[in-house]
Amino acid sequence: MRHCAEEARGGSLFAAKYAAVLSFAVAPPSTLRIHADAAHARAFLRAAKRLPDPYLISCTVISGERENEALLCRGTTCAAPVCETDALHAAWEGLLAAGDLSDDG
């Protein structure tokens, strides 16, 4: 890993792309699973866009059969499901505090 970091430091415009690909190799992307009716799903997606992770992957299931909730995960580690959009950022902070996410998303 150190060798890769040293090589990237000497890079030019392509170093950022290289770093992005390297970050996927060492850490899985964050995922957001939304189970909600259409209105709540849109609200959760708007809240997710405000999270500091440009590579967040979301999966939305539109259904009135379950309680409106969202589940934020990183790899196999998940925060507790949230039912309110305001709680989504707190779930992100909880994963960050657990040491599962880096400060740079």
**CATH code linked to domain 28-97:** 3.40.30.10
Helix spans in the chain (H): 2-9, 15-26, 38-49, 86-97
Q: Consecutive sets of 10 residues in the chain, 105 residues long: mean pLDDT of each?
A: 60 69 74 91 92 84 83 88 93 78 46
67-to-32, 46, 59 alpha-carbon distances in Å = 16, 19, 16
pTM as predicted: 0.69
Token duo for residue 7: 């090589």
pLDDT for the residue numbered 5 = 59
